[in-house]
Structure 1
Amino acid sequence: MTNDRTISRPGMFYGWFVVAAAFTVMMLGFGSAYTFSAFVESLQRDFGASRGSVSLVFSLAGFLYFGLGIVSGPLADRWGSRRLAIAGMILIGLGLAAASLARNLTEVYVAYGLGVGLGVGASYVPAIGAVQRWFVRRRGFASGLAVSGIGIGTLVMPPLAAFFIDTLGWRTAYLVLGGLTAVIGAGMALLIENDPRDRGLGPDGDPVKPGVQSMTPTGASVGEAVRSRQFIGLYIACLICSFGVFVPFVHLVPYALDHDVAKSSAVLLLGVIGVGSTVGRFFLGGLADRMGRHTSLLAMFVGMGLALAIWAVAANVWSLAVFAFAYGVFYGGWVAVLPAVVMDYFGGCNVSGIIGILYTSVAFGTLIGPSAAGFAFDVSGSYMVPILASVAANIVAAAIMVVMSKAAAPA
């Protein structure tokens, strides 16, 4: 008798449920991580710490959650993405709960760094990797829709965290955020499935021809991919741009407060990044399917660089809001298009593992960039040098993409 899970049924294509699950996992995971800027002032005050040392909390977590993809990606290819995503959501909840009990900044490093870092790392690459296998024609759109959860999380979670901090204190705020992430995130992660063939479907809901269901996805091995010119170029471009990519997520609120912006408005600037990010992920992901994903990725690097140039001259809440929206659009587009480009180049056989290795480049940039910006501020009293360095990093990344396009066209 045929298992009813393998029967193609009329109705909504199940790939969209996978997208919805990945959306929620990223909304809660990254949303919890990106609330960190709202906690900087409280952590500095309660632990008597410098801005650089507090920023290092986020940098350590970011290094782990992007670096862990090198492990979680291959594990997802082997064991399935659902298990990794569920474990990640629970780890984030436990990490935030442990951070609420910290007696010093070192304990925040351990609790937040390990909990949020390992949790997002365990869930992000497996979730986005699963989405890639369910789509071909609309891969850019589906990928953009899934990662738009990060944008919605950036819009919703920081103001929510600020509200909890003001009404309950920062410790209880971490506890509440941890509970929400563990319960809702793990519940939605149950919907993630690795491969449409398990439901008797092809990508995009197309019927599968007899005998194709048992075939494994095609594509390059991990070794073939990482030795290729395309992968090396992508890795270097992402490494360089990542030194500046996450600086705004940690330092935009402190920057705004330094320029006499009210705290409530300063925190909302992170939400503006989230709005822009959602627009970028949703619309630019779909646009990339039509104009070419390689070309679109190049445009995202240029756009982030130009947006960061606006930050360099912004001095009030309105100019900062313009920067935040513009930056969010291109940052969101970058996150949406990058996994789809990897799938275009290397196929679906080992896509999660390849994405995981690629994201170690982002891990190193995230480890250094936000904390270096904080220490630069401690020394100079200004963010000008790290902002201009971030602009330059994105322009260099764009130049690398131009060289790649001339050296080899995408598969």
Structure 2
Amino acid sequence: MTPNTNTPSRYRWVIVAVAAAILAIAMGQLVNGLSAFFAPLEQEFGWGRGEIAFINTAGLIGISLGGVVMGFVADRLNIRLVVLLGASVTALCMIAASQATTLWQLYAIFFAAGALGGGALFAPLFALVGGWFRTGAGLAIGIVAAGQAIGQGGIPFANAVLIDALGWRAALLALGVFSLVALVPLALLVRKPEPAATFAGRPSTEPAPNVPLPRVVVVMSAAVLCCCSLMSVPLMHLVPLIQGCGVPAPEAGSVVFAMMITAIFGRVAFGRLADMIGAVPAYLAASAWQTALVFFFTQIDDLSLFYLFAPIYGFGYAGVMTGVLTTIRVLTPADRRASATGIILAFAWAGHGLGGYLGGLFFDLTGTYELTFAVAVVAGIVNLALVASLFLMDTKGRRRGPALLVPAQG
């Protein structure tokens, strides 16, 4: 009996779970896991916060460059080998970082962790998840992004607890060993879509893009550069901002954890919203949310208010990454999706690194975080203008039907 190639494979949900777990562990370390290390590194070495923040920036530059290369590789080679490389390098670099004695060593280690670790995981895994789904991809991508949100909240919180108990070196060592034990077996479960999940050409539920691919890449790259510059400011600097109000590190880290818990629901909700109203409108809504609220962090000096406000901000901010990923999926052809994703996300990670670094630099110059968060608002406004222009380009370019405005059914 001939198998029904129109029936989606159940293994697609295994891929979603595996991708979510891998990104939770790896990206939780590389995106904002360093936030808990500001105070101990500052105390032990006397480095400025701008210098410490650049450790994270070096990792994000690595992700941006490595993501471009690994996106092209993942389109052409065995995806499992690519993910295995990323998993192993991420873990081993955390172990190496625990033995670092100079600033340049941490810069080099985190750059390598980003280029060969995160770069081999982020864009390839999200492109892989999109390839397993003909309908409902927004929800699937939202779930994977939610897994990453768990890591971005849980890893800094775990780091703060480990540092408080063991010191920063032992905390990094424990994180690296745990990552090696957890990530490698998960990577072995990764595989390309089965024949039932593939299709010749683009199906009716995934209309042909209405905007030329080079234009999509240019506009999206500029938008995510600004968007992620804003996003990185609270991710990297909320813990030290709260500590500056006299709050101990574990409690400050728990605020970020609370924010990222609501981000789990926000990423799933905005993924579902993208399936309902379209990718770009959902992206616009989430971007407007984080832009409108981010500056208010600097107006709070009470721990209970941080606990109240951070989850409200986190729910909407979380939808931004989901919006970026669902928009890329809708606007790019499947056979060029991993490479296009890698290029666009290179600018996203560059924005993360730029925002985090400038946040520390502005603090060193002014002694407060108000300028840092004000500049983040400006970056958010520019992002909104660029995303709106993309929406208008899609509307004007429709010939086969509104790819962004009519959600996929099923």
Q: Same fold (TM over 0.5)?
A: yes
What residue number does 1:266 align with?
Answer: 252
Per mean C-alpha deviation after superposition, the further-off stretch among 172-181 and 111-120 is 111-120
Structure 2 counterpart of 1:343, one-letter code: R
Match of 2:51 among 50, 53, 70: 53
Is the 8 Å Cα contact of residues 312 and 388 (structure 1) preserved in structure 2? no
The within-5 A match list for 1:83-102 is: 83-102=81-100
Q: C-alpha offsets along residues 104-130 of structure 1, whole Å, 9 cap, x if unaligned?
A: 222111223322453111111111110
Structure 1 portions without partners, runs of 5+? 204-211
1:304 aligned onto 2:299: no
- Report the Cα distance in structure 1 between the residues aligned to 2:342 and 2:27, rounded to whole angstroms: 16
Superposition RMSD in Å: 2.6
Structure 1 counterpart of 2:79, one-letter code: S
Report deviation, 1:216: 6.6
- Report the Cα distance in structure 1 between the residues aligned to 2:77 and 2:4, rounded to whole angstroms: 22
- Report the Cα distance in structure 1 between the residues aligned to 2:185 and 2:25, rounded to whole angstroms: 12
Structure 2 portions without partners, runs of 5+? 396-401, 404-410
1:202 aligned onto 2:203: no
1:227 aligned onto 2:209: no
- Report the Cα distance in structure 1 between the residues aligned to 2:50 and 2:113, rounded to whole angstroms: 21
Is the 8 Å Cα contact of residues 284 and 333 (structure 1) preserved in structure 2? yes
Q: C-alpha offsets along residues 302-323 of structure 1, whole Å, 9 cap, x if unaligned?
A: 0111220321322222332344
Q: C-alpha offsets along residues 174-206 of structure 1, whole Å, 9 cap, x if unaligned?
A: 111111112211211222222232xxx136xxx
2:121 partner SS? helix
1:354 aligned onto 2:337: no
Per mean C-alpha deviation after superposition, the further-off stretch among 355-364 and 17-26 is 355-364
1:152 aligned onto 2:147: no
1:246 partner SS? helix
- Report the Cα distance in structure 2 between the residues aligned to 1:68 and 1:326, rounded to whole angstroms: 33
Is the 8 Å Cα contact of residues 91 and 119 (structure 1) preserved in structure 2? yes
Report deviation, 1:292: 1.4
1:25 aligned onto 2:25: no
TM-score by length of 2: 0.89
TM-score by length of 1: 0.89
What residue number does 1:384 align with?
Answer: 370
What residue number does 1:207 align with?
Answer: none
Structure 2 counterpart of 1:25, one-letter code: I
- Report the Cα distance in structure 1 between the residues aligned to 2:280 and 2:240, rounded to whole angstroms: 35
What residue number does 1:251 align with?
Answer: 237
Report deviation, 1:25: 1.0
Per mean C-alpha deviation after superposition, the further-off stretch among 119-128 and 233-242 is 233-242
Count of residue pairs brought into register by the alignment: 393
Match of 2:67 among 55, 61, 69: 69
- Give the direction of change, closer, same or farther, for the CA distance of 1:11–1:349 in structure 2 (3 Å limit): closer
Q: C-alpha offsets along residues 248-271 of structure 1, whole Å, 9 cap, x if unaligned?
A: 122111110111123221011220
- Report the Cα distance in structure 1 between the residues aligned to 2:7 and 2:386, rounded to whole angstroms: 45
**Percent of aligned pairs sharing the same letter:** 26
- Give the direction of change, closer, same or farther, for the CA distance of 1:232–1:12 in structure 2 (3 Å limit): closer
2:335 partner SS? coil
- Give the direction of change, closer, same or farther, for the CA distance of 1:190–1:258 in structure 2 (3 Å limit): same
Match of 1:190 among 188, 211, 215: 188
